[in-house]
Structure 1
Amino acid sequence: MKLTTTICGTDIHIFKGEYPVAQGLTIGHEPVGTIEKLGSAVMGYTEGQRVVAGAICPSYTSYATQDGFPAQDGGYLDADGKCSCHGYKATGGWRFGNHIDGTQAEHVLVPDAQANLCPVPDGLTDEQVLMCPDIMSTGFKGAENANIQIGDVVAIFAQGPIGLCATAGAKLKGASLIIAIDANSERLAMAKKLGADITLNYTKVDVVDEIMKITGGRGVDSSIEALGLQSTFNQCIKVLKPGGTFSSLGVYSEDLVIPIANFAAGLGDHTIRTALCPGGKERMRRLMNVIETGRVDLSEMVTHTYALDDIVDAYDLFMHQRDGVLKIAIKP
Structure 2
Amino acid sequence: MSSSTNTPITEELPDTMRAVVVYGPGDYRLEDRPVPRPGDDDLLLRTDAVGICASDLKAYHGAAKFWGDENRPAWAERDRIPGHEFVGTIVAGGASALAKRGVNIGDRIACEQIVPCWECRYCLEGSYWMCAVHDMFGFKGYDGAMAEYVLVPAKALTHLVDKELPGPVAAFAEPLSCAFHAVERAEIKFNDTVVIAGAGPIGLSAIAGARQKNPLRVIALDAVDSKLDLARRVGADITINIAKEDAVARVKELTGGYGADVYIEATGHPSAVPQGLNLLRKLGTFVEYSVFKDAVSVDWSIISDDKELDVRGAHLGPHTWPAAIKLLEAGTLPMDDICTHQFPLEKFQEALDLVGDSAGSSVKVSIVPSMS
TM-score band, normalised by the shorter chain? 0.7 to 0.9
AA partner of residue 108 (structure 1): V
Q: Of the two, which has the highest radius of gyration? A: 2
> Following TM superposition, by how much is the alpha carbon of 1:35 offset from its aligned partner in structure 2, in angstroms?
0.8
User: Is it true that 1:235 corresponds to 2:235 in the alignment?
Assistant: no
Which one of the candidate residues 225, 243, 247 is aligned to 1:207? 247
> Following TM superposition, by how much is the alpha carbon of 1:323 offset from its aligned partner in structure 2, in angstroms?
5.0
C-alpha distance in structure 1 between counterparts of 2:143 and 2:352, whole Å? 18
AA partner of residue 130 (structure 1): A
- Please say if residues 351 and 366 of structure 2, whose CA atoms lie closer than 8 Å, have aligned partners that are also in contact: no
Query: Relative to structure 1, is the Cα distance of residues 177 and 322 closer, same or farther in structure 2, using a 3 angstrom cutoff?
Result: closer
Unaligned stretches of 5+ in structure 1?
74-87
Q: Which residue of 1 aligns with 2:170?
A: 129
> Following TM superposition, by how much is the alpha carbon of 1:63 offset from its aligned partner in structure 2, in angstroms?
2.2
C-alpha distance in structure 1 between counterparts of 2:288 and 2:352, whole Å? 26
Which one of the candidate residues 79, 86, 98 is aligned to 2:140? 98
Please, which moves more after superposition, 5-14 or 227-236? 227-236
Name the SS of the counterpart of 2:78 in structure 1: coil
Name the SS of the counterpart of 2:114 in structure 1: coil
C-alpha distance in structure 2 between counterparts of 1:150 and 1:116, whole Å? 32
Query: Relative to structure 1, is the Cα distance of residues 99 and 122 closer, same or farther in structure 2, using a 3 angstrom cutoff?
Result: closer
> Following TM superposition, by how much is the alpha carbon of 1:16 offset from its aligned partner in structure 2, in angstroms?
0.5
AA partner of residue 179 (structure 1): I
Task: Give CA deviations for 1:140-176 in whole Å, capped at 9, x if unaligned.
Answer: 1111111111121011111111011111111111222
C-alpha distance in structure 2 between counterparts of 1:194 and 1:203, whole Å? 22
- Superposition pairs for residues 121-270 of structure 1, below 5 Å? 121=162, 123-133=164-174, 135-265=175-305, 268-270=307-309
AA partner of residue 145 (structure 2): T
Query: Relative to structure 1, is the Cα distance of residues 147 and 320 closer, same or farther in structure 2, using a 3 angstrom cutoff?
Result: same
C-alpha distance in structure 1 between counterparts of 2:323 and 2:245, whole Å? 38
Aligned residues: 311
**CA-atom RMSD in angstroms:** 2.0
Q: Which residue of 2 aligns with 1:117?
A: 158
- Please say if residues 222 and 244 of structure 1, whose CA atoms lie closer than 8 Å, have aligned partners that are also in contact: yes
User: Is it true that 1:26 corresponds to 2:81 in the alignment?
Assistant: yes
User: Is it true that 1:66 corresponds to 2:111 in the alignment?
Assistant: no
> Following TM superposition, by how much is the alpha carbon of 1:235 offset from its aligned partner in structure 2, in angstroms?
0.8
> Following TM superposition, by how much is the alpha carbon of 1:58 offset from its aligned partner in structure 2, in angstroms?
2.7
Q: Percent identity?
A: 29
Name the SS of the counterpart of 1:276 in structure 2: coil
> Following TM superposition, by how much is the alpha carbon of 1:291 offset from its aligned partner in structure 2, in angstroms?
2.5
- Please say if residues 131 and 298 of structure 1, whose CA atoms lie closer than 8 Å, have aligned partners that are also in contact: no
Name the SS of the counterpart of 1:205 in structure 2: coil
Q: Which residue of 2 aligns with 1:9?
A: 54
> Following TM superposition, by how much is the alpha carbon of 1:296 offset from its aligned partner in structure 2, in angstroms?
4.1
- Please say if residues 233 and 334 of structure 2, whose CA atoms lie closer than 8 Å, have aligned partners that are also in contact: no
Name the SS of the counterpart of 2:271 in structure 1: helix
Please, which moves more after superposition, 311-320 or 101-110? 311-320
C-alpha distance in structure 1 between counterparts of 2:236 and 2:249, whole Å? 19
- Please say if residues 82 and 137 of structure 2, whose CA atoms lie closer than 8 Å, have aligned partners that are also in contact: no
C-alpha distance in structure 1 between counterparts of 2:360 and 2:256, whole Å? 38
> Following TM superposition, by how much is the alpha carbon of 1:200 offset from its aligned partner in structure 2, in angstroms?
0.8
C-alpha distance in structure 2 between counterparts of 1:120 and 1:272, whole Å? 34
User: Is it true that 1:330 corresponds to 2:367 in the alignment?
Assistant: yes
- Please say if residues 170 and 178 of structure 1, whose CA atoms lie closer than 8 Å, have aligned partners that are also in contact: yes
AA partner of residue 240 (structure 2): L
AA partner of residue 252 (structure 1): F
AA partner of residue 16 (structure 1): H
C-alpha distance in structure 2 between counterparts of 1:41 and 1:209, whole Å? 59
AA partner of residue 277 (structure 1): L
Q: Which residue of 2 aligns with 1:83?
A: none
> Following TM superposition, by how much is the alpha carbon of 1:297 offset from its aligned partner in structure 2, in angstroms?
4.9
Please, which moves more after superposition, 56-65 or 162-171? 56-65
Name the SS of the counterpart of 1:263 in structure 2: helix
Q: Which residue of 2 aligns with 1:301?
A: 338
Name the SS of the counterpart of 1:162 in structure 2: helix
Name the SS of the counterpart of 1:41 in structure 2: helix
> Following TM superposition, by how much is the alpha carbon of 1:255 offset from its aligned partner in structure 2, in angstroms?
2.5
C-alpha distance in structure 2 between counterparts of 1:118 and 1:159, whole Å? 26
Q: Which residue of 1 aligns with 2:328?
A: 291
C-alpha distance in structure 1 between counterparts of 2:187 and 2:308, whole Å? 14
Q: Which residue of 2 aligns with 1:38?
A: 93
Greater than 6 Å deviation, 4+ residue runs = none
Q: Which residue of 2 aligns with 1:277?
A: 316
Under a length normalisation based on structure 2, what TM-score does the superposition of the two structures give? 0.78
- Please say if residues 157 and 163 of structure 1, whose CA atoms lie closer than 8 Å, have aligned partners that are also in contact: yes
